[in-house]
C-alpha cells in the first residue's frame, strides 16, 4: 500500500486502479497516466470565485437534469469501465454533467459537458495547456479558464473537435453559457467578494 507520494515512481505510467489504492495526504491527478500534484489548499480568492460560480450554476440548474459539481470530484476522462485502462483522472474546480449515465458513486465517467478551471500560480500552465488539450481530446463541450487575479474569463467551445475561443470576458461583461442558452452570468457576480 502506498502511504507517501514519494513512494511512487513519477516516470511510471499509472492507471485509475493504482490511483484508488493510494493512501497519502494531498491530492493528485492522472494526466495521460502521469502523476500531477495538485496545489495545496486554494487561496481565499480562488475559493470565493469558485463559490460564486457554483452558486450561479446551482440556482439555475435547480429543476434541470444537468448537475454542477466542484472539487474534489473525480472525473475519469474515458468511457472505459475497467479501472486498469483509465489513464486520465482529473479534479476540475467546477464541472457540469447533463447525462446522469456518466455519474456514479466515484464521480464522473466520461467527459463532462462544461468544465471550469480557476487559475492559481501553481496550476496555470497545467490548466492553460495540458488540461486544455486533454479536455479538447475528451470532448468536453465547453471549457472556461478563469483568472481570479485579473478578473478575466476565457470561454472556449468545442467545434469540429477543436476548441474555439468564444471571447475573453472582463469586468462587468455578461457571459452567455453556451451549454445552457437561457443562462447568462455577470462577471461582476463571479468576482465579487
pLDDT digits (tens, 9 = 90+) for 12-46: 999 999 999 998 888 899 999 999 988 777 889 99
For 18-25, the CB contacts below 8 A with 24+ separation are 19/89, 20/83
Confidence of residue 191 (pLDDT cuts 50, 70, 90): very high
For 162-166, the CB contacts below 8 A with 24+ separation are 162/136, 163/132, 163/135, 163/136
- Give the DSSP H or E segment for 158: strand 152-159
Q: Is the dihedral of CA 97, 99, 102, 107 positive or negative?
A: positive
Residue range 113-132: mean pLDDT, rounded: 89
Residue range 7-12: mean pLDDT, rounded: 91
Q: 103 pLDDT exceeds 90?
A: yes
User: Domains in the chain and their CATH numbers?
Assistant: 43-191 (3.90.1570.10)
Q: Is the dihedral of CA 143, 52, 88, 64 positive or negative?
A: negative
12-21, 65-74, 122-131, range with the lowest pLDDT: 122-131
Note whether 107 and 120 are within 8 A (CB). no
Nearest to 152 by CA among 133, 165, 163, 138: 165
Tell me the per-residue pLDDT of 133-175, one tens digit each, with 9 for 90 and over: 999 999 999 999 999 999 999 999 999 999 999 999 998 999 9
Residue range 120-130: mean pLDDT, rounded: 83
Note whether 95 and 116 are within 8 A (CB). yes
Query: How high is the mean pLDDT of the chain?
Result: 94
Q: What is the pLDDT of residue 38?
A: 85
Amino acid at each position: 500500500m502506498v502511504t507517501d507520494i514519494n513512494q511512487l515512481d513519477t516516470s511510471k505510467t499509472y492507471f485509475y486502479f493504482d490511483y484508488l489504492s493510494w493512501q497519502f495526504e494531498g491530492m493528485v491527478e492522472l494526466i495521460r497516466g502521469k502523476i500531477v500534484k495538485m496545489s495545496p489548499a486554494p487561496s481565499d480568492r480562488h475559493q470565493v470565485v469558485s463559490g460564486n460560480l457554483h452558486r450561479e450554476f446551482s440556482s439555475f440548474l435547480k429543476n434541470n437534469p444537468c448537475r454542477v459539481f466542484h472539487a474534489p470530484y473525480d472525473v475519469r476522462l474515458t468511457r472505459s469501465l475497467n479501472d486498469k485502462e483509465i489513464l486520465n483522472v482529473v479534479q476540475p474546480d467546477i464541472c457540469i454533467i447533463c447525462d446522469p449515465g456518466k455519474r456514479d458513486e466515484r464521480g464522473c465517467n466520461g467527459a463532462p459537458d462544461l468544465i471550469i478551471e480557476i487559475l492559481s500560480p501553481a496550476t496555470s500552465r497545467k490548466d492553460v495547456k495540458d488540461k486544455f488539450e486533454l479536455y479538447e481530446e475528451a470532448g468536453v463541450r465547453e471549457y472556461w479558464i478563469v483568472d481570479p487575479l485579473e478578473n478575466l474569463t476565457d470561454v472556449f467551445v468545442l467545434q469540429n473537435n477543436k476548441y474555439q475561443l468564444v471571447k475573453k470576458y472582463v469586468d462587468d461583461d455578461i457571459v452567455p453559457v453556451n451549454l445552457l442558452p437561457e443562462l447568462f452570468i455577470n462577471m461582476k457576480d463571479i468576482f465579487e467578494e
